Chains A and B, each alone.
Chain A
Amino acid sequence: MATLHVNIVSAEQAIFSGEAEMVVAPGETGELGILPGHTPLLTRIRPGTVKVKLAGQEHDEVIYVSGGILEVQPKGLTILADTSIRARDLDEAKVKEAKRQAEEALTNRASGQDRALVVAELAQLAAQLQAIQKLRRK
């Protein structure tokens, strides 16, 4: 029976690579079943499980993906999996968080200057105290 070469990779690691009889993936517009000889296809996939029916084996390989892109070529199939669930609002939230951190760092820097002032003042006071103690001893 014909098989297709399946590669599932994420930005951080290669997740799966092997020959399969069929792949079932959660496509953007619905569940997709891909058999060898499928026409070239490029689609986004939703977070869900990808089922890979391994060639010549009873059990299926089930892999959870948090979204990504599915590419079908004449020779095989590639899933570019995301490392985490991605959505416009989620990404937006991350941007906001990063902006907040950058602003916080700016204000922290100002307080760092304050700290330097306080430390200088403290050093001055300590010196005065030392002078007083020396005077007393005399």
Chain B
Amino acid sequence: MAGSKEIRTKIKSVENTRKITKAMEMVAAAKMRKAQERMRAARPYGEKIRSVAANLSHANPDYKHPFLMKRDLVRNIGVIMVTSDKGLCGGLNTNVMRLLVNKVKEWEGGNAKVQATAIGAKGFSFLQRYGIPVVSHVLGLGDKPHLDKMIGPVKIQLDAFSEGKIDALYLCYTQFINTMKQEAVCEQLLPLTGDKLGVPDSSWDYIYEPDPQVVLDELLVRYVEAIIYQAVSENIASEQSARMVAMKSATDNAKKVIDDLKLTYNKARQAAITKELSEIVGGAAAV
């Protein structure tokens, strides 16, 4: 019965792996539901602030905030990359990285320099390896992202834009489409294009306190932050569902491996018994 013990140990170890992947699948499923709720909870703020900003920029055509001004020459580009902190979630982070690499090649082809902000540990280590200067980063946001932690790192990029150190700001993250489908996207955040703000649904003249500029300035910063927060919460929902799917297929694969191993084990056992029997029979015949 050579090898049967090894096969048994192997079966045991694969079974243990399956238990772990199964548990991770269930944890991810529970977390995904919560992450989706949070994602939806963040939506009204973004919509409200967008409509107010649209109203405001429409009502004040003479005042142009730097965020709204398009620059002809794009020499320096800022990018905010949202990834997960942990691995084991299928191709989620790899897809964002691949998209970013393509974009960076395209930008560098146009002689633009890139500086990045990393949200999430995976993207942070990737950017360092790839050699893109990281001006700020946020790690360990956890399952409940808090906007508070992102304000500083994001403001570095926003300030760089206002000061003219960068001419455009992009946001790369994984968009949550549904449980089975997530898509890596890279969209332009700044300058805000007119069609992104949209046309105001209705227009009336506000009384501004203290004055329109101050209010518009604040609103636009909040708006950009809200978009980033939305991206982060969407990324978390994507991460959990990608992990759930990845772990489900890992569990299924483990089951297949176990079945194969069991078959081999039984065959080996049967062969050993047959061999022993024939030896006994052979021995008896000789006597």
Q: Is the CB of A10 within 8 A of B45?
A: yes
Asked if B62 is at the interface (CB within 8 A of a chain A CB), the reply is no
* Residues of chain B from 34 to 77 with CB closer than 8 A to chain A in the complex: 38, 41-42, 44-46, 48-49, 52, 56
A121 within 8 A of B: no
Contact A44–B218 (Cβ < 8 Å): yes
A38, closest chain B residue (CB): B207
Q: Are B137 and A12 in contact (CB under 8 A)?
A: no
Interface size, chain B (Cβ < 8 Å): 41
Contacts of A43 in B (CB 8 A): 207-210, 215
Q: How far is the CA of A28 from the CA of B42 in the complex (A)?
A: 25
A7 touches B44 (CB 8 A): yes
Does any Cβ of A come within 8 Å of B136's Cβ?
yes
Is B156 located at the chain interface by the 8 A CB criterion? Answer: yes
Interface presence of B248 (CB below 8 A): no
CA distance A83 to B145 in the complex (A): 12
Check A29 against B210 for contact (C-beta < 8 Å). yes
- Write the chain A residue with the least CB distance to B226: A11
B254–chain A nearest beta-carbon distance, Å: 34
B134-166 at interface with A (beta carbon < 8 Å): 134-138, 146-148, 151-153, 155-156, 159
Contact assessment for B209 and A29 in the assembled complex, using a CB-CB cutoff below 8 Å: yes
Most A CB within 10 A of own CB, among B134, B147, B152: B152
Does A63 sit within 8 A of B, measured CB to CB?
no
B interface list, Cβ under 8 A from A: 38, 41-42, 44-46, 48-49, 52, 56, 124, 128, 134-138, 146-148, 151-153, 155-156, 159, 204-210, 214-215, 218-219, 222, 225-226, 229
Q: List 9 A-B contacts (CB under 8 A).
A: A43-B207, A44-B210, A80-B48, A83-B146, A94-B152, A94-B155, A98-B137, A105-B128, A109-B128
Docked CA distance A76–B208 (Å): 17
Residue in B124, B159, B215 whose beta carbon sits within 8 Å of that of A42 in the complex:
B215
Rounded to whole Å, the gap between the CB of B248 and the closest CB of chain A is: 30
Binary contact readout A20-43 vs B (1 if CB under 8 angstroms, 0 otherwise):
000000011100000000011111
Taking a contact as CB atoms closer than 8 A, the residue among B136, B207, B226 that contacts A98 in the complex is B136
Q: Chain B contacts of A97 at CB under 8 A? A: 152
Contact residues in A for B214 (Cβ distance below 8 Å): 44
Q: Are B156 and A99 in contact (CB under 8 A)?
A: yes
Shortest C-beta distance, A118 to chain B (Å), equals: 20
Complex Cα spacing A86 to B154, Å: 14
Q: Are B206 and A12 in contact (CB under 8 A)?
A: no
Interface centre among A43, A69, A80, A83 (most CB of B within 10 A): A80
> Once bound together, how far apart are the Cα atoms of A9 and B229, in whole Å?
14
Name which of B45, B156, B229 has the most chain A CB atoms within 10 A of its CB: B45
A49 located at the interface, meaning its Cβ lies under 8 Å from any Cβ of chain B in the complex = no
**Residue A3 at the chain B interface, CB threshold 8 Å:** no
Q: Is A101 an interface residue (CB 8 A)?
A: yes
A42-B208 contact, Cβ under 8 Å, with A14-B44, A71-B52, A102-B134: yes
